Amino acid sequence: MNLAYIALGSNLNDRYATLTAAVRRLRAEPGSRVLAVSAFYETPPVGGPEGQGSYLNAALSLDTDKSPDELLAFLHTIEHQFGRVRTVKDAPRTLDLDLLLYDDQTIYSTNLIMPHARLHERAFVLVPLAEIAAEVRHPVLNKSVAKLRDELPKADRASVVLAKTPEVPQDFLDVRCLVTGSTSGIGKAIAEAFAERGAKVITHGRRKAAGRHLTANLSDPKAVDKLAEKAWSKGLDVLVCNAGADTLTGEAAKWSFDRKLEELIAVDLKSTMRLCRNLGEKMKAHGRGVILTIGWDQAETGLEGDSGQLFAAVKGAVTCFTRSLALTLAPQVRVNCIAPGWIRTAWGETASAEWQDRVREETPLGIWGLPEDVAAAAVMLASPNAAFLTGQTLRVNGGAVRI
């Protein structure tokens, strides 16, 4: 793997949304991993036609298996996908992705100059880059990024200011939501998405944490019942049963098939059924509520190997249970299942090159899904916009499974 630094810029349309989406697109690329992202900075345009708007700029570091030429071509492809049209030099643009540094290589070719030829002259590049790579040295000038930034004219540096973060619609104000298994990965992203939109989120995990947080070992039925009681006492409108046993990483990856099956049935299936039935009955009696479960997109089509057999059996049962629960609790409570596909969780971050290639080949969109993609589906299904959806399975998988 190779370490690259990339500058991002936009001064057309919704600049914040564009840069945010561009970062997510880079995070989703198989064989690459975003290590750090700077804040977004508001900067005046440099050169180009008069009258153009100011830019939002940022920088990120990327661990990648692509060669410099492949990476540059990839960045140009993303620019094109975001509507970049190359006309006159330094013209306004929806998205600009510049390859600044690639390891400590120096390259002088027809297509690529590395380090970027004007890296050391641009405050709108050096200020965000110094935030994430202050001590990285310019391989030609032999000066750190922080040193190059500090050598710029004071007026240039002062023109680069932190951008204001746009306000997020508060469409879940006064909504109380419990998300199980929400200390990391998909669950954490779901909890953050609801909280960002104003919901009062109760998180859950096996260990203590700050804020509205409940602890429970979901393999213990009594602990599940106690969790339901505590959550309901705080008021509850939305339940997201996300918690699942991790049998792919850590010590659990070495467990026997039978032990993994026992753990998955206890945590992924039995606790989901017990919690949904308990809280679902209370929601129905109360007259309203939303329940979301987490399945798996390949439960119906299958996947070879032990893990495929385990997850197909357990998550397939969760999906079928969800459909029946939806009939039981209708019309007061809506119940749907989200079935993620290749989502870049902790396992995906460290998956081998073989699995990275498999994601490229099996997903029509050619990229990993991100926890935020599942979170967006959860927020949509819990919102009034999904008022006519219940008993459904929504696959968040880039088109990998289509049934």
Which amino acids are annotated catalytic? 84, 93, 96, 98
15's tokens:
């600049």
Beta-carbon count within 10 A of 110 CB? 5
User: What is the residue type of 11?
Assistant: N
In 183-302 the beta strands, taken as DSSP E runs, fall at 200-205, 213-215, 238-241, 289-294
H-helix or E-strand spanning residue 284: helix 271-286
- How far is residue 235's CA from residue 182's CA, in Å, rounded to a whole number? 18
Q: Cis peptide leading into 115, omega within 30 of 0?
A: yes
* Alpha-carbon span 103 to 115, nearest angstrom: 10
Q: Which of 294, 329, 328 is nearest to 314 (CA)?
A: 294
Max intra-chain CA distance, the chain: 71
Buried b or exposed e, range 323-360, using 16+ CB within 10 angstroms: eebbeebeeebbbbbbbbbbbbbeebeebeeeebeebb
Of 196, 119, 175, nearest to 151 by C-alpha is 119
